[in-house]
Structure 1
Amino acid sequence: MYLFQKIEEAAFKQNDARRTIGDFLLSNREKVSEYSMEEIAKLTHTSKPTLVRFAKYFGFSGWKEFVYAFMHELAHFDDGSATIDVNIPFGEAADTLEIIENLANLRIQTIKETASLMTVKDLNQAARLINGAQTIVIYGRSPNSYFGQLFKRNLNTIHKKAFLADTDEAGLISNTLTPQDCAILISYSGNNSETYPMKNVKTLLKNGVPIISITSGGENYLRDYSTIVLTIASREKLYSKIGNFSTEESIQFLLTVLFAKIFSLDYQENIQMKITNARFLETSRKTTFKEMAEE
């Protein structure tokens, strides 16, 4: 989770000076570096010691270090590469064509950013772990569980034993896994060790289970304890947005590319298996389109 997301979370959940300071920083983020510490304290009706405590709440030694990190992160996110606002991709007055165009461009924008965050080394290692695992278990709460379900189905089509962990049974399932298995955890924030799916990490680590996490950039609990991390495009705010358009597209793309890489490791065997299984299991499928028809 990036710093601006941590600030937003604190401003949303806390009902004290952290909310006041957080709201000010998020509303005036482009100008924060122009204000002195005294000016920010005055504008937020707080004090310099309170600002220092605010900085320490996020793990910084002092206010200057906090502001430097905040502005450095801001420069990354405001680099001009994002043409569509990931949080509010269309306005109240947008017509149908504008909505279509903006969301199409947002998907392209998200896929390009997600691809830029991938490394060949991590993708290859993740694919090899899954390909060699006896059992693959996927963890994620809704809506991530929907993407996990589709990924599980794709793995099943090439005879991989993959399962989606039910929220209530995840602890029991985690306790059965071994170093020969593989766990895939999907969480945008990845930050609360006491909530699902992160609360299963301790059991997985105790059993020596390799963990592949799909989570946002920045620091979070899940990244710290994973064998491999695949990074979600993370420009979205936690709460102030129309929907999870960018996050969902990023997760889907990561899982699609990961499956494609796994498929490629035994390409001829897998493609023959797919065709054979489809012909045997999907005999009722018919089409009137010549381009789709097969003998």
Structure 2
Amino acid sequence: MSDGNGGVRPVRYGVIPAGGLGTRFLPISRTVPKELLPVIDTPVIELVVAELSAAGIPRIVIVIAPGKEALDAYFRPNERLERRLAVEFRQDDIALLKRPEKLATVRVVVQQEAKGNGHAVLQAKPLVGAEPFAMLWGDDIVLSETPAVAQLIEARERLGGGSVVGCIRVPKDKVSAYGVVAGTPVDERTQRVLAIVEKPSPENAPSNLAAVHGYVLEPEVFDILEHLRPGRNGEIWLTDAVSQLARQGGAVWAVELQGVRYDTGDKLGYVKAFVDAALGRDDMAPLMKAHLKSLGWKAPGER
């Protein structure tokens, strides 16, 4: 937690679990990882890496499953295409081509067996070591003035260290889709976590504060994951490890994120992200609005 000089150790590593099969996006996910599906012209995984980079995190580990090696290739130089573009003096396209590889130092490790998202995070331990790290899900986007992961890092520094869980408020009848926080209030946007209950029924949910998007984690979570017994469906869950960390007296905080969240691992969430991105781009918004108007849709305030 401390850097040895009374301060909070900086977060210099990011971990992105991206090993899911993406069955909700079949048949395209047979060959294209869902994290490479584009939001206009930028794949979801680049948006996640860019968020970590914007928060000052220079080293990123992506955990993939066998068959998803395209995620590794995406962040590697493509010299053949670069040479072709150079011959045609297409400098703007060269800049776009090289953008992903310049975001951060990206390493990819393979989770050989699907044993749960906690097990996926554990695969990053040899590269992260005894450092605190940010963990973002590979299909979750938050658009905000301050990057969501930077909000978690700021809270960690303000609270003197510890692990931090990103959260949103959800309707009570939707809690069974999330890990739900049981905690005690610290301030308007922060709680001290007592436990995280994975996918409770609405009547058994301790709150409507749902864990989403990602975490900033102290390295002690790796030790817990190594010894954690499989939970629901025989898998090792990260929420179980974070709950155990809190029960052992570790400082774990829940912070309500500010911004607009998209679950791009869900078809509707992905379409919302795509449409909103188009409406937010100067090169596409006028044409997109005209198209929607031709279908009978009206902008807010229009009659």
> Looking at CA atoms only, which structure, 1 or 2, has the larger radius of gyration?
1
- TM-score, normalized by length of structure 1? 0.23
Query: Which structure: greater strand fraction?
Result: 2
Query: Which structure: greater helix fraction?
Result: 1
